[in-house]
Structure 1
Amino acid sequence: MQQAALAGEDISPLAFRIELPDRPSVLVDLTDAKCPLLAREVAETIRSMARVGRRIASPGTVQAYVQVARNLDAFFADRVEDPTTWTAGQITPEDLSDFETWLYETMPTPRTSYAMLTQAVAVLRDIRDARPEALSPALHDRLMFVGLRPRPHFGNPVDAYPPQVAAALRDACRSHIREAVRRLATEADASVATGEDPLTGGWGRWENVLWYLDRHGPISRKELMSHRTRRPGMGPQCWDGRHFELHYGVFPSSEDMTALYLLLILTTGLEPESALELSVDCLKNPTRGYVEIEYVKRRRHGKEVNRMRVRDGGLGTAGGLIRLALRLTRRARAHAWDDSKTALWIYWHSNGVRIGGGVRHFRPRDIAVAFCERHDLRDEDGERLTVHLRRLRKTYKAEFYRITKGQLPLLARGHSMEVAASHYADIPALRPLHEAAVADGLSHALQEAIQLRVIPPQREGQLKQDTTAAAKELDVAPGEAKKLLNGEMDLWLSSCRDFFNSPFGTTGQACPVPFWSCLDCSNAVITSRKLPAVLAYLDHLEDQRQAMPAGAFDLAHGRTRERILTQILPAFPEPVLAEARAIAEATRPLENLPPLLGGIGSRQ
């Protein structure tokens, strides 16, 4: 009896079905496992992880974990002497490391190997949490991390759509929705109101057929053509070729729902799978132009209910889009199948006499192919646009990131800061924004680093009386400070603390840059003696500003002009500036420059 228990004959079955809420059941069959005890432990763990609210929440995930169980079985079957007695408690850290190496050698891509390893570690962690004594103590420490190898690079990240492509997609969705509103609300309401029972009024009138569809639901072409009326000239023969048009007169099409679905994701940034599972009662707590969208995020702790606060109003708001979807599906919902009545996205299926949708049947990615072809949507390369649902969410995130000027905490709504940075901020579409931010930062850092020494007249007089204080403030030797203040080291736009020790050149050699670079040099000292030249040069810059394109001027002279206006001129009182302007106009300092040194010429 004890030996049978150790053999694990009654621990758990090797073949069973996993029932998932709102999803098809999945068969788990490990009866051909060569390590039956290990397979039973893994199978029981998979069944436990598939409970509501836990890690496994979809048929595809179940199948992925079953494949992990098969890989573990295949690895240990070839490694151990007696596979029939092998259990998870015998796995050592070295075994798990060897299994990692084996995966990278046998799987087709490093990405597949890493995914398999992650799921295998998740299974062992679940066994550890449920039964700590089932695993060796040494393995507990090893399960604190996934693998020994670095995480493989998974290729280029999913990028956002360019602004022009996103704008074209939005315009197409809005145009299609307006047409759907005209067809399903304005015209349908009028037609149904004026129609009557076709069994008495005849099937020949459009309004009568729509009245029948509104009351009794979809009708097959065969059933429609089988109706007869005693009144001559009122037969249904004329509706044979308009069977689709009749139903779309009162019931939404799959493209109608797809247009609303795509626009909702572009408006809210909701996860595509979460938007697909929205229900008719997803709107909660409407107040003051806002409403909460209640949705399920299956990737978070298995199946977690979240809420997103959004604007509520017209077609341009998320709340308005969902209310419009409810309005357009009102007639269809009365005749929908029971499993689709609570789903937000339902429509008439043209391949059958039924109304359905929801998670089981609504496939917006496939329907979007015909939608893009109908509206002639093109991507950034001019090719037919292919709608990738993940790119829609990235597009919303990228636009939100631009509007908020790169505020990462605001972008991290619904996930961690790390995910926001790596998955939504670090994408090619936002690279120009980041490069511009780096350039602005460097520019500001340069402006902060280059602090011109601007000395007003009063301070200049004080420093002339105190050579020690002048030397300390100007960061030169006392003898050099006296020469600076007496004008013996003057250049054209400024005085220079050390002409042969320029930050732009080699120590011991003369400064190699043109005169206007003095205003961007840490060696420059501006006193009232240099104001006439500075003002004359500012006049020249203003002339150039009028003659040059704005972008070219900002690149060539924008920083110098801003420095004069914000750092130099405000340091001097108005009487001193007025005197300097008079001197500049009288002496024309620009005429004293050789043309080859500046090419400025004389002021006219």
Structure 2
Amino acid sequence: MNRQGRGSTGPGRPSALPDHGYEPPAPVRELPDGGLVVAFHGDDDRRRVFNVSRLPLPGWHPALAAVVSERTGPGGGLRTFAAATTGWGSLSRLVKFLGALPEPPATLDQLTPSHLQAFHDHRTRATPVTALRDMSEARLLFALPALRDQVSAEVLDHIQRRLPSPREPEPSTTVADAEPSRPGNGAKRLTSGYSDGELARLLAALRADAARIRDRIRAGEDLLRRYQSDPLALDDNDRDLGGVLERMAATGQVPTPPAARPSPFCPERQELTGQLFLTLRDLPPLMMLTAALSERNGETMKELPVRHRLLEDRAVELVIVKRRRGTRRWFETVTWEIGAPGRELHNPGGFYLLMLELTARSRQWSGSPLLWSVWRNGYGAGLGVPDNHFAPFQDSLSSSSILPTAWVANRPRPLLADPQSTTDGPDATPPTIPAQGLPLQVSFNRIKTSMEVRRTKRMGGHLPSAAKSNSMPVLFRNYLSGDPVITAWAEEVLGEALVDAEQAARQAHERAAKAAGGGPRVLPGPADAPTMVESGIGPETARQIVDGELDTGWTACVDHDQHPLTGKTCQVTFLDCFHCGNCLVTRDHLPRLLALLDALSQRRRELPEEVWWPRYGPAWVAIRQDILAKFTPAELQRAQADKPHDALLDLIENPWELP
């Protein structure tokens, strides 16, 4: 049966099955010389053969072949070419290390925990990150039956122990560390996103180079079309060039221009190639712009397919690959907007269709199902032929090196990072002018981070809406956390929210104070009866205040029986006293008020801001702005030393409302 594609099955149409008696080829094969090899065919349709017989320790080979077959098989965790190659590298390093020991474990039952510990220590001294990866892969391999049933229980217990995470090396104070973005100084490359200015300059440069490549190939196609239509209508130079382009289109071969030195490596031949075909040097700006417009990572850009579907000429639908999502979750159907005519450099769907147009000539000869197909010099690639059309990422994602840094370095107009000040203190020197800035570090990871940050900002920081190609924890941990752009934006948003909340609390306090007699009265002078009498308080009431008979939770109340708003006995909470005209605050109340502020600050760390501000904000504003501001710093300092331990905040709280 040869039915395939959507709609090939249904009621009465069973799925296609192989012929009766079909036996799939065994993944483990024995060579004529007795060696063992494991054939791998990944979900990314890439293949490789792992030769187990080339490893030391022949007594291990049958078990190793079995675990490699299971680990890279349909139900295993290594189902891409890159993942299987990485896992094979970890296994090879372990077996080669054990085979090089003075007394190697010839069989699996001779393996001891000390052997594994020695391997871990050796790898930690060399490459700490790889050491953790190697031991993690060894743990998964030894959990498979072929190895688990042949090693001792001590080895299994040792391999299952928790491994320490590798630590970053201590930062040095060398010049290289002071200039992290200068190429070639050995400093750590940046992984954070770009600032708004850097991203704008980078996108402008990518669009400029993409437009130049587009115009170059379209000009060649237009000349070829005019030559095939009416060669006599062209002048001599265009007619000669049109004839060369016609032979290039018909054969896929690029001849040496007549006026150039006859050499397959002459620059004129490379320039002639660009009239109809993309070359490897064209890929960095095109792929990075594709990544920026689609907001996907570099791996996904390398495996974009040719197969797609147009949706009413408004969008393009295609199936992309998103790795490291778990078994059978790598493929995702996306819809990219095409945009208006002439805006293909600003919309992912339009740019994808443009790339299909620019790579069509080369893909005619490579026959690749992937989007990217380019021309390269066969002699330079060691193929022994002058021309070669190939898909650079069909066999492996790392088969062709795409160096964004080389693209930046070779641009006639430099692409610079934002200038940085030399220090962070008050005596910091002003930033350098842009002409003296450092070259911008360009990478797919930084582009992806920048686009994730911008999308999160567009969504107002709502992670469920911003999570597009990753889960929310991955989005926050790997892209947003620590990024200077998102940090500055979050601080700005939080600052505005706090200002709004404080203003709302201030307005609530002013409304309550206006309705309840104008707010508390503060006596900053001596807390004695004569001073209170001079301020308009009756002698008897002044005596009671001095003796503390009218004290409430944190202040004093001059007339508890007649509330200014209701004219009746007061029934509000002690926090509402700070808005009441009957409230009186003297110097003796300062220690309790400062203790209350500390308790409110502690409660603010325990409650969400949207809960804390309506409940405690008006009282907090009244204390900070209407009461404490009327006392001298010396009075506040003395009161700070006399603060009670119990702020009495539970007097106004219901037990079920406590955090």
Where on the TM-score scale, by shorter chain, does this alignment land: which range? 0.5 to 0.7
Distance 2:189 2:210 in 1: 34
Match of 2:621 in 1: 520
Match of 1:278 in 2: 304
Given candidates 38, 43, 50, the residue that maps to 2:72 is 50
Match of 2:361 in 1: 331
Written as runs of structure 1 = structure 2, the 5 A alignment for 1:572-591 is: none
- State the 1:454 CA deviation: 3.7
Written as runs of structure 1 = structure 2, the 5 A alignment for 1:205-284 is: 205-221=240-256, 242-281=268-307, 283-284=308-309
Whether the aligned pair in 2 keeps the contact of 1:260 and 1:321 (CA below 8 Å) is no
The AA in structure 2 aligned to 1:423 is: N
The AA in structure 2 aligned to 1:358 is: P
% of aligned pairs identical? 19
Determine if the alignment matches structure 1 residue 365 to structure 2 residue 400.
Answer: no
In terms of fraction of residues, the more helix-rich structure is: 1
Match of 1:427 in 2: 482
Match of 1:591 in 2: none
Specify every segment of 5 or more residues in structure 2 that has no aligned partner in the other structure, as ranges.
1-28, 170-187, 381-385, 420-436, 519-540, 542-549, 566-576, 597-617, 628-659
- State the 1:481 CA deviation: 4.8
Match of 2:373 in 1: 346
Whether the aligned pair in 2 keeps the contact of 1:497 and 1:524 (CA below 8 Å) is no
Specify every segment of 5 or more residues in structure 1 that has no aligned partner in the other structure, as ranges.
1-8, 227-235, 462-466, 509-516, 527-604
- State the 1:329 CA deviation: 2.1
Change (3 A) 1:506 1:418: closer
- State the 1:397 CA deviation: 0.8
Change (3 A) 1:44 1:80: farther
Given candidates 353, 356, 376, the residue that maps to 2:414 is 376
Match of 1:452 in 2: 509
Change (3 A) 1:150 1:312: same
Distance 1:258 1:81 in 2: 50
Q: Deviation string for 1:22-80 (max 9, x for gaps)?
A: 5573544454534x444543343223333468533555544543343345446767999
Distance 2:96 2:268 in 1: 58
Change (3 A) 1:67 1:246: closer
Q: TM-score, normalised by structure 2?
A: 0.58
Distance 2:93 2:75 in 1: 26
Whether the aligned pair in 2 keeps the contact of 1:518 and 1:524 (CA below 8 Å) is no
Given candidates 363, 368, 388, the residue that maps to 2:443 is 388
- State the 1:505 CA deviation: 7.9
Deviates more, 1:75-84 or 1:59-68: 75-84
Given candidates 302, 319, 332, the residue that maps to 2:349 is 319
The AA in structure 2 aligned to 1:47 is: S
The AA in structure 2 aligned to 1:260 is: L
Determine if the alignment matches structure 1 residue 402 to structure 2 residue 457.
Answer: yes
Whether the aligned pair in 1 keeps the contact of 2:280 and 2:375 (CA below 8 Å) is yes
The AA in structure 1 aligned to 2:585 is: D
Whether the aligned pair in 2 keeps the contact of 1:194 and 1:207 (CA below 8 Å) is yes
Q: Deviation string for 1:451-470 (max 9, x for gaps)?
A: 62744777659xxxxx9xxx
Written as runs of structure 1 = structure 2, the 5 A alignment for 1:91-240 is: 98=117, 102=121, 106-125=124-143, 127=144, 147-150=162-165, 152=167, 158-186=191-219, 188-195=221-228, 205-221=240-256
Change (3 A) 1:439 1:285: same
Distance 2:152 2:108 in 1: 13
Change (3 A) 1:442 1:319: same
Written as runs of structure 1 = structure 2, the 5 A alignment for 1:76-95 is: 83-87=105-109
Q: Secondary structure at the match of 1:348?
A: strand
The AA in structure 2 aligned to 1:384 is: P
Distance 1:247 1:168 in 2: 29
Change (3 A) 1:60 1:507: closer
Match of 2:87 in 1: 65
Whether the aligned pair in 2 keeps the contact of 1:268 and 1:318 (CA below 8 Å) is yes
Distance 2:88 2:320 in 1: 28
Deviates more, 1:250-259 or 1:15-24: 15-24
Distance 2:48 2:77 in 1: 16
Distance 2:256 2:224 in 1: 20
Whether the aligned pair in 2 keeps the contact of 1:57 and 1:298 (CA below 8 Å) is no
Q: Deviation string for 1:520-550 (max 9, x for gaps)?
A: 3237889xxxxxxxxxxxxxxxxxxxxxxxx
Whether the aligned pair in 2 keeps the contact of 1:373 and 1:384 (CA below 8 Å) is no
The AA in structure 1 aligned to 2:295 is: G
Match of 2:314 in 1: 289
Q: Secondary structure at the match of 2:585?
A: coil
The AA in structure 1 aligned to 2:372 is: W
Distance 2:85 2:150 in 1: 25
- State the 1:117 CA deviation: 1.9
Name the Cα RMSD after superposition: 5.0
Q: TM-score, normalised by structure 1?
A: 0.63
Change (3 A) 1:311 1:499: farther
Distance 1:79 1:354 in 2: 46
Change (3 A) 1:79 1:191: closer
